[in-house]
Structures are given as structure tokens and as C-alpha cells.
Structure 1
Amino acid sequence: MNFKSIATTLRNTIVVFACLSSTHALHGEDPIDFERDILPIFNESCVDCHGPEEQESAFRVDSRVALLQGGDYGEPAIIPGNDREGLLLKAIAYTDSDLEMPPDDKLADEQINLIRRWVKEGAYWPGQMDDKIVREKSDHWSFQPVVRPAVPRAQSPNTSTAKPNHGTTAGRTPIDAFLLERLEEEGLGFSDPADPTSLIRRASIVLTGLPPSPEQTRDFVNDYAVDSDAAYAELVERLLASPHFGERWAQHWLDVIRWAETNGSESNMYRKNAWIYRDYVIRSFNEDKPYDQFLMDQIAGDSFKQGDATGYLVSGPHVPLATVGREPTARRQARADRMDEILQTVGASALGVTIGCARCHNHKFDPISIKDYYSMAAVFEDIEFGSRFPEFGDDHPRRIRGKELYREINQHRRELREMGPWEEDWTGYREWHFPAVTTNSIRIKFNGYFVRLDELEVLGTAKLNENLADASRGVKVDYSEANTSPNMPIVNVNDGIYGNDGWMVSGTKNGKEKPWIQFTFEAPSEINRIRLSTNREDYLETDYLQKLNKQMYDIQSIEVLADDGQWTEVASPKQFAQSNKQHSERESILRDLHAAIDLANEEGPKPSFVGRRIRPSQTYILSRGSPENPGAEVFPAALAELGGDLGLSPGASGKERRKAFAEWIVAPENPLTARVIANRLWHHVFGKGIVTTTADFGAAGATPTHPELLDWLAAELVAPSEQALQSVAGASDGKKWSMKHLIRLMVMSDAFRQSSTPRADGIAVDAGSALLWRFPPRRVEAEVIRDSILQASAVLDRGLGGRSFRIHNVKERYAQWEIQDNYGPPTWRRMIYQERMRRVDDQMFTAFDFPDCGQVQAKRPVSTTPLQALNLMNSDFVIDQSKRVAQRAVAESGGDMRKGIVRCFDLLLTREPSVDELQACYQLAEQFDLSLVCRTIMNTNEFAFLP
């Protein structure tokens, strides 16, 4: 036994002796005396690690308030009057192998009993009973209120404090005034204005992601020579109004939230119709939807008739149940992981804080507790990764188109009702229609001896999609019990959840009875169809897979209970055949009906991967993030540091929770929301945020280079000022929370319009151009390179929205995605419409730092690798497109090679070649062909960089 063990044993012996010498400890007759019975234990065994000098896990035992507050694990150390719960009692009892205190040697049983009795008797601590928990407010800059600073009166860059011969005499916008004030401190000013060719290319790519055409460039240069300010203002307004503006800025948002069309797990299954959300984002940017409403839509769009917007909440990766398996602990862990993905998305994109750091303990750097984390999780308890029919307003384009198609579908149905029952195939499920009948009970009989259903719904005429057989309505279910799978019980057949966990039964070939199921309603109901599926999750969420079992059932008949107590058949395959014979036109009507259904599935409201809604469950703080260690129950709330009480009752519905949270997140009192988006817009205009860690405004993030400017921008976003509106000549309508207004101010500034040419004085002081003494040049994104090439070859499909184009195969469930066509005509749309696949290399533009969407990409990395040059020289896409650019150039130049070279420069760089460039390219074209000249131009920095 070592010295430490001997000392510990001796100490415990002394304490035990003291306990034994006290009659109240032996017999429990007297109340606990804190200073005599408890304080010595704390001082001897706890204070060294949990006292004034050191606080492991932010936990202290040297005051009653500290015990009530607890530490990093988010629950109180003691609960006065409760001798069974509380972190202190758990730790000293050694009931959790990961939480044993003291760690070297367990307290004696007598000591533990004393502490337990002390807690049960109210945890009396002399002199501290009136002390209250006081939460200290953070002094970190990002959690302080946004206060609009006064716009500085910047000195002229040509005064004695600035370097001469650079810049204009005054800032054009309030933005310039803030920047010039900071530059003057360093003896700097803005650079000279950019030349008009560079300026139009810069503005066009920043605002739309597409370079200007040669014709647009020439027109702008001519107009700029006459009136530069008017020409540039007109250019900016045209670009802001372009439908391609929404495509460009939507991609920035999709990066941050990690949106993709596969789940990223081992099976990496496809998310069917996830692109519905992408189209919502594009449309919102084009419409200049106020940013506060933009966020509210995405958090609670089902309350605002923007159900497609909630794809935001399920944009991150997840592991589907089919991959998790059936083990309950694995399922609970997977659910906790999916909830974490939601919180990561909301934290990084809207709040600019790393919420996930508080999953296991209080945040180490920021004022975010583990209780905050799980209170926010409670807000989203009704959201599950999956599909549903989005809620649309009457003015939504899909609702309008859907109404047209459903009128056609209903007309065909009216015609068919006179001809008997029929069946409809809606891809993910099938519907059997029959004449409306009022009944207490319906029974479905099956052929064969095997039936698998994930859900069976009975529908009526009152509410078209209301399941009258839902378990929540008190429906009684009877069924054939022979060989029912214990893992897939009958309760799953009408629980409102689609997927693999349904009802499965297999009769025996020697048995006399085939499978059947019967629903009995609490009251007679009018019904006219049933809807059933084997695995709706696969067909509504994963789309194209090989070897899917779409229909693992075979209906023999559908019967209803008549008033006389007899069962009456209302639909069967036999009736279908008889009706076809009796009505020769019926088959033609059915064909037209299914053609309309196919169109409705494509163009109208449809099940889309925008999140399934489930019944919210109780939420508990999970010790160390484990669902197997639930602690105290928590209720829906936001960050306590920012007044996170949402005013909700414990029984608030999921929609009410999310709506209240959405209102909190965009409230003017929340200092993070406006700051974060203002900084993000700045990042995409100037290439680097005022806070360079654009998704982390916490203590571990960067400090702002221009804090007053950031607060001015945040305030300006929420409520535009007259001074700012005048600086852009009234081009903005003064709408609150307008992202276009803020972007307009940025691109209209002198800072944006200055040259990117390096200067010795600027480099000496600020080599990274963070102070914006010049416009910082940067490489454009993968999408810009690809889309620019398609535009130059004149094959770019500029159509907006719709289903993504595929470059991959149709795969088996656990196989891998394989590239099949990443350059042919079906792919000639803008790259934002390419299927966004996790864990898949597109074998071309992934090399240009195109994100995998597994992690938050608030800003893309910029790497330089040989593979980039190889792709821009030798990939199938570039070879094919170079030939097309060359063919276009020759055709538009009358077959003259030199003119063709000039046209290639025009199409790709919007300028003419120099004499030396023309001569070198002519020799290259003569030796090889003109397409090689095009490939060479595509490999230049001039093509791949923003000027």
C-alpha cells in the first residue's frame, strides 16, 4: 500500500470514528449539523479539486449556491429535500463508472449517509440559506446589444495623414466612411478606381456567379466613359434584379447549412425531392424576402404556408433507421445525433455560435450551458429527418399548378366512379378507390401468405388526407395473428410513421386462413378509399434504387360492415376486371388519370425531404451526451444569455415551439442574428468577413476588424437609414431586413469599386488587405468556373429551378454512387442544379474545393493543387467544351483563325489578346487546334480569379 492510500485510509478512519462517536449518526435521532457533520467531509475530500483554487468541471462545493447551480454537466449537484437525485449524490455513490468522486477512494458509507441525510433535511448551510443563484452576464462583444454608431466624418485620403495619389476625396457611402477612418490611422487610403472591364466582371460574378458577355462588357465600357456613376448604378440594379442573383446567393446559404441530396451515412441514400427546399432559397433571394421572415420560414414554415422552407432543419447528414438497426440503445443514440445536426445547423447559420459544444457539458468558452443545448433540442422535438407534403399558400407556384392538375385528376375520378372501383399508383403508395359508404368497420383481405405494410390509412370525403384509421382516434384493430413478426407488430400499421418498421405477417401454406386486417371506428364514418404502402420511406425519400420491394402485399378484397351486420365487398381485382369489360372507355380514362398523377407528382405539391413531424417527447439533459444517462427534464427555450424564455407551456405543440423560437431569433433584442448575416454578406462581397470566423462569433472566434462598421451594418439591415438610402440614390426601397439593400450598399461603395492592384505602402502595413486599401483579389468558386465555360460555349441552360440533374448511377441500397455522365448535354445547367451528393467526388470540380456538405462550410477553403490544372486541361468536360467554344469562335469570325483567337479571348476573358498573346496562340492553333488555345485560356489565373 502506497503512502497516499495509507493517508486516505487513515483520514476515512478518523471521519468514521467521529461519526460513530455521535449518537445522532448512529440512531438518526438528531438533525444533521452542517459544520460538524458535512463541512469536514467537503474540506477533506472535495475542496482541493472543487473549491476556490480549482474547479474541475466548473463544479464547486464551497457554497450552497454553487451546489444548487452544479457545474458543466447542467444539473444541480443537490436538490434539497431529494436524497435520490442530484449530481453530488450520484458521484459519491459510485453508481456511474464515469462519474466517481473522490476518484481515488470512495467515501465511507457513513459519510455518504450523512450527506444524503443532510440533503434530505433541506441542505441547511448556516448563513447561506438566503443566497440566490445569480447568473453572470457575458462581457463578450457579440452578446452585447447592437447600437448603431454614428457614421464617422472621414478625412480625405489625400490629406497629409494619408499616402498621396490614391483614392477619391471622400467616401461614397457610410461604409466607405468607416473604412477610411481606419485606413487613415495607418496612413493609407483607397486605391484608384478599377478599370470598367474589371469592374463589370467583378460585379457580375459577385452578384450572379456568371461573368458578363462580351457584348454586355462593351456596352458598359461605352456607357462608363460617358457617366461612370450612372452606368455602374444601372449595372448593379440589373444584376440585383437578375434571376441568377438568387442562384448565386442561395449557394452561399446552402454551403453554411450543409445541404445535400444524400444522407451521408454508410448507405448514403438519396433524399427524394430535397431540391424543393433549394428552389425555396433561390426564390427567396430573388424576391428579396426579408431576412427575418427568411429565417422564420425555415424554422417554422409549416406555420407560414412555406412548408418547403423547413428543409433547412434537416439539411445536415443523418443515419437512417434502416442503417441503425433495431437495437433500442442504438436508435436512441441515432435520434440524439440527428437532433444535434439540427442544432448545429441553426447555431452556425443563424446565430454564429457553436451550439454543439454544449452537448456534453457547459460550453468551455461561450455563455451556452448544457441546459441551453437541451432546451433548444426540446424546441425541435417534433422534427424528424424524412419527407412530408409541404404546406403551401395559395400563391405558391406549386399550389397553383397542383390545383390545375388536381382538377383534371378529379374529373377523371368522377368519370370512373360510375364504372366501379379502381386503383391509383402514387409512387410511394397506392390508393384503392370505391363508392363512398358509411360504416363502423372495414376489413382488407390479402392473397398469399405474406404481407408487409408500413402504414395503412382509411380516408373519407370530409378531409381528403385525414387518416380515419389513425391509432390516435381510438380505432380498434383486429388481424390475423398467425406468424406475426415480433419486431414488426400490428401497432405499427396505423401509427402515422412510414418506413421499415411496419406490420409483417406470414401465414403458413398449410393453414386455412390468409392474412387480413380490420379497423373498427368509434363512430360510423364515411369512407371512399384506402392508402397503403410497404416502404413509403424508400419511395418518397430515397428515389432511385435497384431491387426495391415496392409492394409486398396482394389484396384479395376490401369489405365494409353493413347495417345488417353482413360484410359487403366494395373493391377487389375481380371487380376491376369486370368493370373494364363493361366499360370500354375505362382503360383510356385510367391512362389519362395516371398521366395527370405523374405530372402532379412532378409539378405540384409532393412529398419532399423537408422533415417529417412527429409527436414531441419529453426532453432531458443527457449526461455526457448519452441518451442512456438522462438527467433533469428541460422545456423548450432558447439561449438563457439572450433572454431565451419563450413563454411556452410545457405541453406546447411542436409548431408552437418552433414559431416561438423563430420569433425569438429575429427579435431586435437578439444581437447575434443581424450581426451574423451582415458579416456573412460582407464575406461574400469582399472575400473575407469583418469577423473572419463567419460561423463562430464566440470567444474562440476572431475579433472584428471593424467592430463599429459591423454594428452599423447590423442596425442598417434591421432598419435602413436615410443617410444610407441617399448614398445609393434611392435605389433601395427602405424595406426592413432587406439583404439586397445591404449588398447594394457594399457593391456601390468605393471600397468595392477600387482596383485590386497591389501597392507597396498597403502591403507593408496590411499584406492581407483586411483593411481594404484595395479590393482583395480571390479565386472564384468551382461553380463559377464551370458555369462560365458553359456560357462561353453558348450551351448553358439558364432555366430556373426544378429537379436536379443526375451525374450518377441507379445503385443498390448499400452500393456506392458512381459517376456516369458529368459532362453531357443533360448536365448543361448551372452547377447549383447538379445533384448534391455527400461522400462522392464528381471527378472534376471537387478539386476546386467544392464542399462535401458533411461539415458546416461558412467559408470555403481555397487550395492550389496540380489536380486543378489537370482537370482544366484534360477532363472530358473541358475538352468537350473547349471544342464547342472554338467552333463558336470560328463560326462567328468567318473562319479566320486570327479573328477566331480574338473571339476566344473575348468569350472567355471579355478582352482582346495582346500582340504577343495573339502570336503565341496562333502558333499553338496552327500546330494543334483552336480548342487547345481555349483550354490554355481556361487555365490562366485571369480566368479563375476575381479581378
Structure 2
Amino acid sequence: MRSSVVRSIVFFAVLVALCWDFQPASSAESDISNPTSGADLVDFESDIAPILEDNCWYCHGEDEQESGLRLDSRLSMLRGGDSGLATIVPGKPEKSYLIEVVDHIDEEMAMPPDEDKLAAEDIELLARWIREGAVWPGQMQELKVEKSDHWSFQPVIRPTVPTSRKVTESSNLLDSHIAIDSGDATESGNVTKSSNAIDAFLLDRLRLDSLAYSEPADPRTLIRRVSIVLTGIPPTPEQTEAFVDEYARDGNAAYTRLVDHLMSSPHFGERWAQHWLDVIRWAETNGSESNMYRKNAWIYRDYVIRAFNEDKPYDRFLFEQLAGDTVGVGDATGYLVAGPHVPAATVGREPAAQRTARADRMDEILQTVGASAMGMTIGCARCHNHKFDPISISDYYSMSAVFQDIEFGGRFLELSKDHPRRVRGQELHGLLKTERIKMRSTGPWEENWTGYKEIHLPFTTAKAVRFTFPVKFLRIDELEIFGTDKWNENLALATAGTTVEHSEEITKESMPITKINDGEYGNYAWMVRVPKGNDQKPWVQFNFTEPHEIFRVRISTNREDYFETDYLENLNKLMFGAFEMEVQDESGVWSQVASTNQIAKLDQQHPERVATLKEVQRLVDLIKEEGPAPGFVARFIEPVTSYVFSRGSPESPRDEVYPAGLKELDGDLGLDSSANGKTRRVEFANWLTDPANPLTARVAVNRMWHHIFGRGIVSTTADFGAAGAAPTHPELLDWLASELIEPTEFGQPALQVGDSAKNTESQPWSMKHMIRLMVMSGAFRQSSLPNDGGLQKDGNAALLWRFPPKRVEAEVIRDSILQASGLLDEQVGGRSFRIHNVKERYAQWEVTNNYGPETWRRMIYQERMRRVDDQMFTAFDFPDCGQVKPKRPVSTTPLQALNLMNSTFVMQQSEMIAARAISESGGPGQRAVERCFELILGRSPSVPEIEAVSDLVSDGQLSLVCRALINSNEFAFLP
């Protein structure tokens, strides 16, 4: 039986094959979706080539390719030019950019120009040719994706560490203390083994130019250098002297203990957080014309400080900033909205303007992610394919699709159970609950939550709720009613099925009642203006789908302001005044449950209630400050379908794109437009932090290197593309990237915060591990003094034959002055200290106090405003944060010297340093001068220096000596 079935199958297969062989032959080169007879097909040689040759090939041929476009090759036409759009899409003329431009659909891109427009029959021939498959004899190869051969897109492969090298006899090797860590000297001029791979690579490269390390730095220089690099604060005179003595006894071991101590300091996080905030352009105002303050944006700054102090693994650090809301670290998403933006109120209501502004905001997000995490100028592909790197316009809009649920604004944060703010908030809410129980027995009351009023009621069952407002002008953006079943469920929402009735005849048409329960906060609200002579009172009634037990109500006028901004005059105005609230019970009977007058009478009748209410309000204010609070760390919206915008214009959407990373780096996330926002960002974060992604680790370690040595191995720290610089030490860069991902035996143990004794094995992606390796290297610990040989062959010390001296940043200068006076407030974290006025919405910020006692914290906690000169440290290249600046410029201007000599802050602090020196030295004599040198420069003065200032000291001008020392290069430069 089985054999007969097999024979039947074989016979049928042979019959099908014979029938197939006798079908009419079709062109092997054709991919026609709707083939026609051979006689009707467009012939390329006779019909199409003449059109292209006469009209196109002169500007888009072999010799010249305007806009990166070639039309003398089918593959080039399939690929398209700089626009990123395929010139031809076989079978689909409506998708082919060629037809669009020759048909002059867009006059700006019309080709050829108007007077030379192709004849209608020629355009039709081109369209038919494309529809029939764009058959081009001899050029029917498939379009293949070409991979870039640029170094930064290649996989990170851990190179072999050089283990033996010959250094010339004249080379200056490190002394025995440093050699313990950086290499064992076996005989003069020979290093056979290095326990720090960094030195192995650097010395190997120096040998090619007959160079070597300089002499070791002296211990006084070393402690100042490593303290500023790791914490941003120089050592005190006492710390310096103690280290000098210890170093004389213990050498390398003393330095190791110093590094351990500095890296376990909470000031480590402050220093390295500032570097990260620089590269992402973080600031506390939006930078637009109004330049409004971003409410509680500092919560994100504190997250970054904690992350560095806790040695949060770098891959986790990036993940949380992209999708922290999914893992209880909602404050981390401030990263996504760190750049500037134009607020909606400034944009206006014109739809095209709103779409353009939205596209601009998305571009700010991509600039942040591209520069900081990927080392790529992603924004260059917004209007066309990237000119230098394998980033297409489709890549740009696919990445944009990842972040379509992000909007610039504020929200209450998603915090894990052990988050400090949540723990404090639970404690305060417990106290508030106790006080509310006392209040509830006395009747309704109001709480002021700044952006909204919260009205608390006796527990009341209602199937409808009616509010009457005895006012002439009313504006409400949202009215929320909460039940006892689910604490934060708004029963008034239209999406919950609640319907609304209202005083329709006096409602402003452009601000309808639908705004009152649509779940959207903001300036577009329900508004009523009662005409003169009209005694009608505005009212609104909410009809539930079923009865609910209710107990509190929230009303606001523009709660978006409450979430987003602060420090503006007339902010959070509540435009609804008095109210009367009634409920309808299940039998249909109406009764009043609260009113402004009733609350006032209860306060008069029960004096003890007033005291309780004061305590309630005090706890409310504490919760807003110390507990979970709204912060400008992004708000979430429903993501929309994303399209490629031709030439970057949202008015010219083209093909749909899905959320993805870069195609060059296998960025397909397996998502489509139906994916929710969280999923998009989680998958992108996983792709970005995958060890197979060659950019992430390279960019991270290069930036650490830049902040330690003053110049990255790749000097263009935010551009690893073809337009960026090549690495000076490519093998070292890859070794460092590999070491970040997976530490080896060359790695030193990473420290645990606050416990220098815990030298556990380094965890993957440990930032402290990498920073420690770098500052423990012999390269970091060598002298900065120049020599002729090094200057001739490597003038800027890119090969690190000496430690490159550099001017310290504005923050270091300011914090060092405060430390010298003994007035530096070392409190870590919290609200930024204010130096500006409270302004009107469209006025400019003005500096009102940048030197008073309330400003004597570290400068990282100073309000960081865009487009505002702080009238002192802006002169020291303090970034404006308007544009991506991965590394700060270093300028030298007369204004710097003037600020360090004559500014109010320096004059004030110099007086205090002098007073401290006199107090600690027992009088205003020579010892006081010596103390000033110790406090400011960390050393004693020489005899000539004492003689040079003797007259000033005699005249009681010790503070002027302090001003001169603060203005010295020795104070402002890292040796």
C-alpha cells in the first residue's frame, strides 16, 4: 500500500516538473509584480537611457554626484543619495523619489528645474519602467548592505598586553615606589613586566619615538593632583603634610590608601557627576525665550551623584536613565530631557508649529543619547543621510521612534521601596494620616498643595456630584474626585464613563467643559466669564456610571505649571475662588457636603481644629520638599507611529519606521509601531548596553580618560565617527573597553562606598574600577615638567611622556576658595542654592546673590541656568548648556584675572582666609603669611615670596596677599 502511494507522489511530482518546464520563459532579471507581454515592456536602452543621459547624468553621473546621488547605476538608484530616500523602488513608482522630483511635486526639489522639466511622456515612461521592475540589463544585482570599515564600528576585541619592551638607557624610569605598581625594573633601561596594563601600552608606544615617562611627581604635587581629579577639592594643609610624611615611609602603599580614601568620599560622586552633567547639557531652565525654571530638576542631579558614589555599573547607569521608570528609579529619566526646549505656551496652537516643536524636542533627546552614550553625531541624519558615518535618515527616525512616549515636562516619580525620598514620604504620610483622622470628625477642610487645592469630605456615597462657583470668572484645568475603594483612582474622568453637565451658555467656546475631566493638566482649561448684569453662577455636574463612596476632591487651574516650573511671579494662581459642593444619593436626593463658607465657620467654631489644620499643612509642605514630588524628569505620553520626515520636515512624512537602533550595529529591536513606550526604551537600552555594541564601552572609558589626563585617547570624545579624531592608542582603548565590561587579573579591586576595607573583586562595568586603574598608573603619577625631547616629538603630550598640566574648572576654583576660608558647606545633595531673582514669566533671570552664606555649598549645587551669566565663573568657561559640549573649552581672558582679584566673592573670601590665618597662627605676622600660602596653595612660601609681601602685611593688607595667591597660575592649574 505504502509503495503505491510513493509511486503516485513521484509520478505527480514529475508531471508538475514537466508542466513547469513548458511554461513560457520569464526574465531571470525581472522582479515585475504585474508583468505584461514582452512587446509592451519598456526597453531601458532605447527608452530610459536617453532620458537619463540628456537630463540627469551630467550632475549625477560618474564624474559628479550632486547630493551624493548617482543615476548611472541601478544599485546607486536603489540606494538613493544623501536624502536617504530610494531613487527607485522597483514595482512602486509612487514610492520612488525619482518620479517625485521629475514630476515637480515639491518645487524646492524639482529636477530638472522648471524650464527644463521633462515632457509628460518621458515621466510616464520612467514610471512605467519602475512599475515593470526597473529592468536594467547587466545591472540587476541585488542591493547589499555594506558594512563600514571605520574602526569604531568594529567589534571590541581585547588585545594582548605588552609584557616586554626595551626602553633606552637614557630613559627616566619610575622610582621604586611607583615601580611596584607600574613595572618591575630588572636592569637599567629594561621593564619586563607591568601590573598595570595602561603603562604597558603607553610605554610600548613611547618607545617608538624613543620617549619614556618623566620623573615621578613629588608627593605634594601628587596629592593635590589626585584629590582634584577624584573629588574636585584640593587637600587641606594637614592632609598634605600627613601624606608627605606617609609617602616618605610607605611610598606606593601610602598612595594606594589615599586613592582608596578619595574614591570612598561622597565628594567623588559630586566631581564625576559634574562631568556627566556637562556632556548631556543638563541645566535647570529650558533655554527658550521664557527660559523658565524646571521644577525639581535637581532630583536627577542627585541621582547621578548617588550613582557614581555607589559605583552603579555603567550598563545599569545607562539603562536606568533610558528606562528607570520601569525599575523604580524614576528620577533617572531626567537624562532624556536634559537638553533645552521651547515650552508649549511659547509655541502656540498652530498645528504645524506644534509638530515642528515636537520634532525639535525629539532631536534634543537624540543629541543627548548620541553624544553621551554612543559618541555619535546622530542629529546630522535628521534631514539626510549622515555625510560621514553609516547613519541613515531612517536610522534617525527609527531612534526617534524609541522615545515617542517622552515629552519635556514633569511627573511624580516611580520610586523603589527603598528609595530615600519614598522612605521619607511614607514616614510623613503616616504622620499626615494621623492628623487627618483628627480633622475628619470636625467636617470638611482644605489643603493647599500649591498647584492644586485638595478638599477633604466626610465619607459620602454619591451617584452624582455638583459644584457651584459663586464667582464672575472661573478657570479649571482639571477637577478630580477620589473614592475610598482605590486611593488614587479619579472617578470624574471621562474615560471612566463619567458624563458632565454644566453652565453651557456662559462657557467660553474655545475652552470647553471637556477640559475639566480629560486627564490633561495645563493652560487649556474650562473657562467661564459671567457677563455684567448676569447673576448666574457657573456650575458643573459629574454623573457617575454607578454610586461611589467619595472623600476628597482636587481642583487646579494650571497644574502643568505645578509639575514643570517654579520661581515665577503669579505662578500657580487658582482661578476658581469659593465653591459649594453637593452630592446626589442613590435615591436621587441632593444635599450639600462642603462649601467655602462652611469650612470657614467650622474653623471659627472649633479653635482646636485650626491648630490641627496648621500641622496638616506643615506636613503637606514637608512632603512636597522631602517626599516623592513632581520633578522635571520627563512626562509620558502615548507613542505615535513614526515616519521618515523628508528633509527633516514633519509636514513631509514618508515611509513608516519602527523603533530601532543603528542598522550598522544590528539595531533591530524586533518591535513595530504597536509597541508601548516602556517596551521601546527597555529594548533600546538592552541593545545599547549589550557588550557586543562596540561604541558604548569605548565611549565610556575614553571619556574617563579625558577627565583624568585632560585629553581622550580619542580627542573628539563625542564623535567616534569618520569626522572625529583617530585614537592615539587604539589597542589601549580596546583593552580599557574590554576591562570595563569584564575585569581581569590586571584590574584592581573596586571600592565599596564608605568602606575602604572592602576590596572585593571588581564587578563588570564598574566605573570606579576603571578610574582607579587610571589614577594608579605610572602615567598619571609622573611629573608634568617638560623636556626638550618630549616637546620636539609630542608637543601636546598626547602620548603621555609627562602628565599634561591643565587649568582647573570653574567649580574647582570656587570650591577651593571656600575650603581655604574654612566655610565650604559639605552637605551632599538637595535643592540647588539660589542666586537668581523670582521673575515674571517672560522676563530674564537676574543674579541677586552669588556670594552670601547660603551659597557656600559646592558649585555643583548652584542653580544652573541657561543663557545667564553668573557674573563670575562664566568667565572660566562654565558651560551655558545650550549646545552639546563634550569637553569644556579653556580660554585665557583679562576678565578671569579681574574676577579673581576684584569680585565681591573673592574679596569677601580673602578677608575670611586672612582672618582664619591670623587666628590659627596667633597673630598677623610672618606665620600668618605662611598659613595663607598653606591654605591656598598647599605649601609654605619661599623667602623671596615672604619678602615680596612684607610691606602689604605691615600695612594690614593680608587679604590682598590672599587675593594675589588666588589669582596665581599655581592656584588655577593642575600640575
1:427 paired to 2:482: no
Match of 1:849 in 2: 877
**Aligned equivalents of 2:39 and 2:636: distance in 1?**
56
Match of 1:330 in 2: 353
Aligned pair partner of 2:419 in 380, 385, 396:
396
Match of 1:133 in 2: 143
Aligned-partner residue type, residue 522 of structure 2:
G
**Aligned equivalents of 2:549 and 2:319: distance in 1?**
38
**Aligned equivalents of 1:439 and 1:81: distance in 2?**
63
**Aligned equivalents of 2:861 and 2:136: distance in 1?**
68
1:480 paired to 2:480: no
Task: After TM superposition, give the deviation of residue 626 of structure 1 in Å.
Answer: 1.2
Aligned-partner residue type, residue 884 of structure 1:
M
Match of 1:881 in 2: 909
Q: Deviations over 1:101-156 (max 9, x none)?
A: 1225211222223333444x443415589743311111110011000001012425
1:738 paired to 2:766: yes
**Aligned equivalents of 2:662 and 2:331: distance in 1?**
27
Task: After TM superposition, give the deviation of residue 181 of structure 1 in Å.
Answer: 0.1
1:186 paired to 2:209: yes
**Aligned equivalents of 2:502 and 2:638: distance in 1?**
26
**Aligned equivalents of 1:933 and 1:851: distance in 2?**
30
Task: After TM superposition, give the deviation of residue 65 of structure 1 in Å.
Answer: 4.7
**Aligned equivalents of 1:454 and 1:859: distance in 2?**
43
1:575 paired to 2:604: no
Match of 2:340 in 1: 317
Moved more, 725-734 or 520-529: 725-734
Aligned partners of 1:370 and 1:621 also within 8 Å: yes
1:861 paired to 2:889: yes
1:242 paired to 2:265: yes
Match of 1:8 in 2: none
**Aligned equivalents of 1:480 and 1:75: distance in 2?**
54
**Aligned equivalents of 1:652 and 1:598: distance in 2?**
39
Match of 2:571 in 1: 548
Match of 1:151 in 2: 161
Match of 1:802 in 2: 830
Aligned partners of 2:749 and 2:761 also within 8 Å: no
Q: Cα 1:96–1:709, aligned 2, differ >3 Å: closer, same or farther?
A: same
Match of 2:83 in 1: 73
Aligned pair partner of 1:921 in 949, 953, 956:
949
Match of 2:50 in 1: 40
Aligned pair partner of 1:608 in 626, 631, 638:
631
TM-score (norm 1): 0.93
Aligned-partner residue type, residue 901 of structure 1:
V
Aligned pair partner of 2:364 in 329, 337, 341:
341
Match of 1:24 in 2: none
**Aligned equivalents of 1:595 and 1:758: distance in 2?**
62
Match of 1:940 in 2: 968
**Aligned equivalents of 1:480 and 1:117: distance in 2?**
62
Aligned-partner residue type, residue 661 of structure 1:
F
Match of 2:560 in 1: 537
1:833 paired to 2:856: no
Aligned-partner residue type, residue 852 of structure 1:
D
**Aligned equivalents of 2:750 and 2:607: distance in 1?**
72
Match of 1:58 in 2: 68
Match of 1:675 in 2: 698
Aligned partners of 1:172 and 1:750 also within 8 Å: no
Aligned partners of 1:359 and 1:373 also within 8 Å: yes
**Aligned equivalents of 2:784 and 2:572: distance in 1?**
59
**Aligned equivalents of 2:316 and 2:545: distance in 1?**
42
Aligned-partner residue type, residue 115 of structure 1:
L
Task: After TM superposition, give the deviation of residue 424 of structure 1 in Å.
Answer: 1.3
Q: Cα 1:699–1:470, aligned 2, differ >3 Å: closer, same or farther?
A: farther
1:112 paired to 2:123: yes
Task: After TM superposition, give the deviation of residue 741 of structure 1 in Å.
Answer: 0.1
Match of 1:175 in 2: 198
Task: After TM superposition, give the deviation of residue 723 of structure 1 in Å.
Answer: 2.4
SS at match of 2:747: helix
Match of 1:638 in 2: 661
Aligned-partner residue type, residue 358 of structure 2:
R
Q: Deviations over 1:217-236 (max 9, x none)?
A: 11111110111011000000
SS at match of 1:569: strand
Q: Cα 1:487–1:355, aligned 2, differ >3 Å: closer, same or farther?
A: farther
Aligned pair partner of 1:872 in 900, 914, 917:
900
**Aligned equivalents of 2:494 and 2:733: distance in 1?**
53
Match of 2:927 in 1: 899
Q: Deviations over 1:764-783 (max 9, x none)?
A: 11110111111111110010
SS at match of 1:722: coil
Q: Deviations over 1:802-861 (max 9, x none)?
A: 000011111111111111111110100000000001111111111111111111121111
SS at match of 1:655: helix
Aligned partners of 1:279 and 1:802 also within 8 Å: yes
SS at match of 2:116: coil
Match of 2:716 in 1: 693
Task: After TM superposition, give the deviation of residue 29 of structure 1 in Å.
Answer: 11
Aligned partners of 1:166 and 1:189 also within 8 Å: no
**Aligned equivalents of 1:304 and 1:717: distance in 2?**
23
Aligned-partner residue type, residue 843 of structure 1:
Q
Q: Which structure 1 residue ranges, 5 or more long, are not aligned? A: 1-27
SS at match of 1:368: coil
SS at match of 1:753: coil
Task: After TM superposition, give the deviation of residue 164 of structure 1 in Å.
Answer: 5.3
Q: Cα 1:131–1:532, aligned 2, differ >3 Å: closer, same or farther?
A: farther
Moved more, 745-754 or 512-521: 512-521
Aligned partners of 1:620 and 1:631 also within 8 Å: yes
SS at match of 2:631: coil
SS at match of 1:505: strand
Match of 2:10 in 1: none
Match of 1:714 in 2: 737
Task: After TM superposition, give the deviation of residue 480 of structure 1 in Å.
Answer: 2.5
Aligned pair partner of 2:221 in 186, 193, 198:
198
Aligned partners of 1:481 and 1:505 also within 8 Å: no
Aligned partners of 2:459 and 2:551 also within 8 Å: yes
**Aligned equivalents of 2:521 and 2:729: distance in 1?**
51
SS at match of 2:670: coil
Aligned-partner residue type, residue 153 of structure 1:
T
TM-score (norm 2): 0.91
Match of 1:91 in 2: 101
Aligned partners of 1:797 and 1:828 also within 8 Å: yes
Q: Cα 1:761–1:172, aligned 2, differ >3 Å: closer, same or farther?
A: farther
**Aligned equivalents of 1:544 and 1:515: distance in 2?**
32
Q: Cα 1:462–1:41, aligned 2, differ >3 Å: closer, same or farther?
A: farther
SS at match of 1:811: coil
SS at match of 1:135: coil
Match of 1:777 in 2: 805
SS at match of 1:724: coil
Match of 2:171 in 1: 163
- Count residues in correspondence: 917
Aligned partners of 1:482 and 1:507 also within 8 Å: no
Aligned pair partner of 1:278 in 298, 301, 325:
301
Q: Cα 1:449–1:360, aligned 2, differ >3 Å: closer, same or farther?
A: same
Task: After TM superposition, give the deviation of residue 58 of structure 1 in Å.
Answer: 3.0
Task: After TM superposition, give the deviation of residue 872 of structure 1 in Å.
Answer: 0.5
SS at match of 2:921: coil
SS at match of 2:212: coil
Match of 1:10 in 2: none
**Aligned equivalents of 2:560 and 2:750: distance in 1?**
53
Moved more, 163-172 or 85-94: 163-172
Q: Cα 1:439–1:47, aligned 2, differ >3 Å: closer, same or farther?
A: farther
Match of 2:607 in 1: 584
**Aligned equivalents of 2:500 and 2:63: distance in 1?**
65
Task: After TM superposition, give the deviation of residue 211 of structure 1 in Å.
Answer: 0.3
SS at match of 1:299: helix
Q: Which structure 2 residue ranges, 5 or more long, are not aligned? A: 1-37, 180-184, 186-190, 752-756
Aligned-partner residue type, residue 118 of structure 2:
L
1:370 paired to 2:393: yes
Q: Cα 1:389–1:105, aligned 2, differ >3 Å: closer, same or farther?
A: same
Moved more, 419-428 or 595-604: 419-428
